[in-house]
């Protein structure tokens, strides 16, 4: 197994090399992001990434659910409830094809306050992809609203429905000011 890992690093070095000022060859390994999606089976894993807080003060978690015909959408996973909630025009309760965001490096995540006009200016962080809605990539966002910190999908394309869209009272509510989930920010000034 160590040999395979060493070979992978060598191949990565060969694909991502650079020359120094003194014409010496250096291996430039691309950043490895330590987060992943696990199948959600109704139990919150120990390494789940927290996302929000429900009305009872319990932590909610970031999910991803396949909802036909929309695509793979950001979902909220509530403690003690095995049915995650997502939105696509209306609220969807999903109990199959669900994943939960996990990581062993929670300290590398941050929530960045932004809005529909400034999100594209965040360039020193990797914005976490929460899914794909009708072929358009979405990021993960949240908003403090109605005694909860609600999770939802961030649509970045400039059209009438861009912004943060969250499931709320059976429908989908849009916000123009919100927080977006980022990973590996280079500095505190996003």
What pLDDT, on a 0 to 100 scale, did the predictor assign at position 4? 42
pTM of structure: 0.81
Residue-wise pLDDT tens digits, 126-145: 999 999 988 889 999 999 99
What pLDDT, on a 0 to 100 scale, did the predictor assign at position 85? 92
Residue numbers of the chain with a pLDDT score lower than 50:
1-21, 189-190
Domain ranges across the chain: 1-30, 35-183
Report CA dihedral (100, 101, 105, 109) to the nearest 10 degrees. -140
What pLDDT, on a 0 to 100 scale, did the predictor assign at position 89? 82
What pLDDT, on a 0 to 100 scale, did the predictor assign at position 13? 43
Over the chain, what is the mean pLDDT?
84
What pLDDT, on a 0 to 100 scale, did the predictor assign at position 27? 55
DSSP states of the chain: -HHHHHHHHHHHHHHSEEE-TTS-EEE-PPPPP-EEEEE--SS--TTBPEEEE-TTS-EEEEEEEEETTTEEEEEEEETT-SS-EEEESEEEE--SSEEEEEES-GGGEEEEEEETTTGGG--SSEEPEEEEETTEEEEEEEEEETTEEEEEEEE-SSSTT-EEEEEETTEEEEESEEEEEEES-SSS--
What pLDDT, on a 0 to 100 scale, did the predictor assign at position 8? 42
What pLDDT, on a 0 to 100 scale, did the predictor assign at position 158? 67
**77 Cβ contact partners less than 8 Å away, ≥ 6 residues apart:** 40, 44, 48, 60, 61, 62, 63, 84, 98, 100
What pLDDT, on a 0 to 100 scale, did the predictor assign at position 3? 38
């Amino acid at each position: 197994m160590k040999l395979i890992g060493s070979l992978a690093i060598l191949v990565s070095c060969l694909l991502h090399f650079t020359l120094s000022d003194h014409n010496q060859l250096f291996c430039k390994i691309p950043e490895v992001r330590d987060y992943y999606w696990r199948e959600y089976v109704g139990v919150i894993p120990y390494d789940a990434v927290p996302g929000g807080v429900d009305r009872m003060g319990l932590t909610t978690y970031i999910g991803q659910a396949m909802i036909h015909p929309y695509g793979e959408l950001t979902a909220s996973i509530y403690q003690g409830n095995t049915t995650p909630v997502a939105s696509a025009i209306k609220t969807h309760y999903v109990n199959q094809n669900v994943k939960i965001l996990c990581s062993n490096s929670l300290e590398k995540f941050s929530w960045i306050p932004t809005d529909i006009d400034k999100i594209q200016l965040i360039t020193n962080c990797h914005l976490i992809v929460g899914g794909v809605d009708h072929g358009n990539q979405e990021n993960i966002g949240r908003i403090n609203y109605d005694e909860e910190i609600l999770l939802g999908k961030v649509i970045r394309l400039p059209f009438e429905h861009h912004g943060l869209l969250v499931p709320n009272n059976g429908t989908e509510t849009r916000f123009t000011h919100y927080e977006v989930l980022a990973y590996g920010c280079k500095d505190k000034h996003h």
